Structures are given as C-alpha cells and as structure tokens.
Amino acid sequence: MTNVVRSEVNIKETWDLTHLFPSDIAFEEALNNAIHDATTIEQSYKGTIKNASQVIKVLQAYEQLLNKLDPIGNYSSLALSVDQTDEVAQMRASKVGQTYSKINAQLSFIKSECIELNETVLIKAKEQAPQYTIFINKLIRQKPYQLHPEAEKALAAFGTTFEAPYELYNTTKLVDLEFPNFDAEDKSYPLSYNLFEGDWEVENNTSIRRAAFDAFSKKLREYQHTTAKTYDTHLKIEKTEADLRGYESVFDFLLFKQDVDRNLYNRQIDLITTELAPHMQRYAKLLQKVHGLDQMTFADLKISLDPSYEPKITIEESRKYMKDGLSIMGEDYRRMLDLAFDERWIDFAQNKGKSTGAFCAAPYGAHPYVLISWTSRMNEVFVLAHELGHAGHFYLANAKQNIFNAEPSLYFIEAPSTMNEMLMANYLLANSSDARFKRWVISTIISRTYYHNFVTHLLEAAYQRKVYELIDEGGSVSASILNNIKRKVLEDFWGDVVEINEGAELTWMRQPHYYMGLYPYTYSAGLTIATQVSQRILHEGDVAVQDWLQVLNAGGTKSPVELAKMAGVDITTEKPLRDTITYIGLLIDQLERLTEEIEK
C-alpha cells in the first residue's frame, strides 16, 4: 500500500489529457478564444431574437461555443481531480470557473429572450431546425419558472460562488484532511481516504479493519462542523433558488431538471428501505457467520464473503476481463474498450490528493476519461466495468447527438454503468461451474453492485430526503443534526442485525453526491433498469442488445420513462423495482445454499 505524491506515479497508469489540449499554452489559447467568441455572440445577437430564424441563428452560434467550452472545463477539472494539492491546477480550475460564470452571465440573454417569445415562434423554430427540438422544449418547460432577464444574468454571474461549497468540501476532504498512521496488532499502518475506502474497509483481518474504521472516523469527526456548515450553505443556495423561481419545494426544483415526478423519486426510496432491508439483513448475518464474528458492526459490512478466494489482478489482466465480459455488446464496443486502454483514457494511479471513488467524464468532441484508484483486488473489475459503462454511453451518445441532446436525465445516468456490472456478472457466472467461484461472483454482485448502488447510495437518498424536508420547512442543519439523521436511517434499515457503531453516523461526510442535487437515489433507479434489461439480454440475446444500443445512442433525446420503455422496461409501475428486489433476494438464497454446500 502506498500513498505517494502524483509526480512519483507510473505515467502508464495515468490518463493522457493531451488528447484535449497538447499543452497548457494551447489550453490558454482556447480559453481566450472562447471568451472572445462569447463577447461576439453577445454583441451580435443580444436584443435581436424576435423570430424563428433569429432563434436558430443564435442557437447555432451558442452550440459552436459550447463545443469549445466543454473540453476546456473538462481539462481543468480533470487535472485537479487527480491531485487536489496541485496549486497550478487549483488556480487553473478557479480561473475557468470565473470565466464560465462571466460567459454564462453574458449569454443568459439567449434563454431569457427565447423564453419571452410567443410559444408559436419557438414551435416554428423547432420545425425549421429539428436538431434544437430538445433544447427548445426545455425552454418551453422553463417558462413558468423563468425570472426577469437581469435577475437571470445576476444568478449566472454568481455561478462560481454558488459552486463554492462543493469546492470547499473537496478542499477540506482531499487537501486539509491528513490521516495519521493507525496501530493494530502491534503494527503501524498508513491511512488516507483512498486507502481506507479501497483497502482497509474491505480488509479481512477484523482487528485491523475495525482499528482503521475507528482511526478514520476519529479524524473525520475533527472536521464535522466545518463540513456541516459547508453543506448547509449549499442547501440554502438550492432552497433560495427554488423559492425565487416559484417552485413549491426544493424537491420539485431539483426533480424538474431530471424530467421525472415526485412519485418515481419517493417510490424508489420507500420500497427499497422497507422491502430490501430483510434481504440485506440476511446477507449481513451470513457474513457474520462465515467470518465467525461475535457481533456484526457497520465497520464489517464491506468485507468479502470469501476473501481467501478473491484473486489479485493486474491492470492489463483487467483489460481481458472487460473485453470478454462485455463482448456481448458487439465489436464496436470492444474496439472502444481497446482504445480506452491503448490511448490512456483511464487514470489508475493511487496518489495523495486524488479524488476518492471513481467517475467518468465525457468531454464533447473528445473521448471519455475514467478515474479509478486501482487496488489490484478482483472487485475492481466491477468498478472499472461500471465506469466504462458510462464511457460507452457517452462515447456513443456524443457521436450521434449534438451537445444539446447528448446527455440524458440524471435519473437515467446510472443505468448504462450498472448494466455493465450485470453483464460482467452474467459472463463470470456462465464461464464457471466451481461452487466457490460462483459464490464469489454472486457475493460480489451483492457486496459491490447491489450493496453500493441499492444500499449505500439508497440510504444516502433516504438521509438526503430527510435533510431536504428539514430545509423546506425553513430549518438549517448542523453536524449533530446530520449525525442523528444518518444514524436513524442506518438503524432503521439494519435493525438489530448490525450494530451501528460510533463513527457510522459520520458517513454523510464521505459523499460528494450531496452537492449534485437529488443524485443518490438515481443509482438504484438506474440499476433497476439495468437489472431488468440484463435479464432480457441473458434470455433474448442480440435482440435485447440492439435495443439497448439504441437507448445508448439516443442520449438525452428521450425522457427517462421513454428510454426505459425503448429497452423494454416500464418504470411508471412498481413492477421493475419489485422484480429487482426479488432478484436480490434470490441471489442471497443462492449464497446461503452455496455456503452450506462448500462448508459440507
């Protein structure tokens, strides 16, 4: 285990940002050109948007500018994400943020003037330029919530300021937080965010794992008040804008952007927290039994059911798993996977200051980028498959759609990623008859795919809903309030099967998702769709694959309900979610049977 600085990592394990800009000089040149183009658009079109042809002309100019701005924003954020301690990257990202705010303020007139037009003019513009239909439809939907043009300009100018809580959260978490070594069994071990979440949290040795959890929690607690105040500021910004725009609640404001109603949101949280809990409690009991634990604690929930069986794999070996496991997606998809490795789309390195977890960014006009901190554990195959699911989605959608139409609703965004995890599991199960291997695969599906997306993120969503309910009532949050809410959510889900030990309540401090709107619940929403479609692919083969590829190509041209319907899933009913929860229960049944068989 290492915790090296960025300059010491193997360059082959890093991504190559020169595909966006060959040098910082080229980046600066592109940024200056974008600033110039924004001013030209403002001077040329402000106050002139009166008819359909002028709507189309300004949208064409705006589209060209967005095509230039997208790689600029990604270049600065990606460089910072691999090393939050890099002052040059910090300054660059800050400069880009300020520039974006200025440009957004300059060009806020585009939406304002278009929205002020009679709807018949906008409909005529759609007919003459169908490529802008999605963008114009969004403008028409926004009409009831649009503010005075000068108010919209002022809000846009404050863009960087409004994003400050998220930046402050990351600075606290990844720069200021310095973890000391911890002791266990008369030895000293290094500790960091990535080491804890990548290694110590899944460590097989109970005394080491629990000592790491205690040391990690102790350090988090020192920053709980700063982090809570940062989060409270973010919540107040969202609530203020929701009120200004005339939404009934902050929920309606945030769900409006996702193009789904409150019923879909609440159903996902309510059904899972009540009906999945008994299945996951059985899984926790099975872990306790197999590991011979006197008591099952929150610090033990991420351990492997059979850690002695889990192989270590290299980055190069992961490539073969990606190609073999996802080969059912077709030859073009396999070629994309080869490019991801050959052209260094993926940042595997572990280093100080690197963002935790994993993500995929998709600069328009370029290829996607994937961040992961590689631990050589076999379960990283599922994490990498997940992020490459995002990459494949964006790669296809960006190629088929313009920049206005490429990105789907946040509600749907996790379906392609979790789909890849399910495809990988299907492949591994189909290619082995060994009981221990089957148990390892199924337990990984539970502990990685479903625990992560249906439990970790869903419990985040249940917690987040309680927080927003408090904010909607005019309240504020503090560290003690957030701790109490989180602890109650965990206790309600795990019952008396798992001890929610001291430090578990601080889990809210670990997630950046709370600064991204109503994002956490969408993991389970996406996985519900992915589970059903992966079963279709398992039983129907290429017909279902082709349907799914059409969904990926569609990008954001359809609503989440329409995209799911294209793939053969009706998310307007409870059935897909109930079927998925039943499927999880059946997987745990298999784990119990396989464990009994192996132990005999």
At 348-403, the pLDDT tens digits run 999 988 988 899 999 999 999 999 999 888 888 999 999 999 999 999 999 999 99
Question: What is the rounded average pLDDT of the residues 58-70?
Answer: 97
* 192 three-state secondary structure: coil
Q: pLDDT value at position 431?
A: 84
Least confident of 84-93, 451-460, 563-572: 451-460
Cβ(505)–Cβ(523) below 8 Å: no
Q: Quick one: DSSP state of residue 184?
A: E
pLDDT-derived band at 1, boundaries 50, 70, 90: very low
Give pLDDT tens digits for 253-267.
Answer: 999 999 998 999 999
Beta strands in 181-305 (DSSP E): 182-184, 187-189
215 lies in a domain? no
Cβ(507)–Cβ(527) below 8 Å: no
Write out the DSSP string of 377-392. Answer: BTTHHHHHHHHHHHHH
527 lies in a domain? no
The total of other beta-carbon atoms located within 10 Å of residue 567's CB is: 20
Cβ(70)–Cβ(364) below 8 Å: yes
Where do we find the tokens 């070629």? 335
Q: Which of 484, 476, 525, 477 is nearest to 507 (CA)?
A: 484
501 lies in a domain? no
| Side chain identity at residue 546, one-letter code | Q
Q: pLDDT value at position 389?
A: 96
> Domain range for residue 99?
6-161
Number of folded domains in the chain? 1
Confidence check: pLDDT of 145 > 50:
yes
Where do we find the tokens 């109503």? 518
Phi then psi for residue 262, to 5 deg, are -65, -30
What's the CA gap between 419 and 385, in Å, rounded?
9
Q: Quick one: DSSP state of residue 181?
A: P
Cβ(468)–Cβ(519) below 8 Å: no
464 lies in a domain? no
Please report, rounded to a whole number, the percentage of residues in the chain having pLDDT higher than 90: 86
Q: Which of 318, 378, 373, 377 is nearest to 350 (CA)?
A: 373
Residue 204 corresponds to which tokens in the numbers above?
């097989």
Write out the DSSP string of 236-256. Answer: HHHHHHHHHHT-SSHHHHHHH
pLDDT-derived band at 561, boundaries 50, 70, 90: very high
What's the CA gap between 243 and 260, in Å, rounded?
20
Confidence check: pLDDT of 2 > 80:
no
The answer for residues whose C-beta is within 8 angstroms of residue 460's C-beta and 6 or more apart is 508, 511, 513, 514, 520
Across the chain, what does the average pLDDT equal? 94
98 lies in a domain? yes
Q: What are residue 369's DSSP bridge partners?
A: 361
Cβ(25)–Cβ(371) below 8 Å: no
Give pLDDT tens digits for 279-338.
Answer: 999 999 999 999 999 999 999 999 988 877 777 899 999 999 999 999 999 999 999 999
Q: pLDDT value at position 142?
A: 95
Please report, rounded to a whole number, the percentage of residues in the chain having pLDDT higher than 70: 100
92 lies in a domain? yes
175 lies in a domain? no
Please write down the long-range contacts of 363-366, taking CB distance under 8 Å and 24 or more positions apart: 363/20, 363/70, 363/71, 363/74, 363/75, 364/66, 364/67, 364/70, 364/71, 364/398, 364/403, 364/406, 365/67, 365/70, 365/71, 365/398, 366/19, 366/20, 366/71, 366/74
What's the CA gap between 457 and 446, in Å, rounded?
14
CATH of the domain at 28: 1.20.140.70
| Side chain identity at residue 358, one-letter code | A
Confidence check: pLDDT of 46 > 50:
yes
Least confident of 214-228, 389-403, 448-462, 528-542: 448-462
Say what the pTM is.
0.88
Q: DSSP alpha helices (H): ranges in 12-132?
A: 24-45, 52-81, 87-106, 108-116, 119-128
Residue 6 corresponds to which tokens in the numbers above?
């960025």
Q: pLDDT value at position 104?
A: 95
- Most confident segment among 2-6, 311-315, 481-485: 481-485
What's the CA gap between 119 and 310, in Å, rounded?
60
377 lies in a domain? no
What's the CA gap between 483 and 505, in Å, rounded?
5
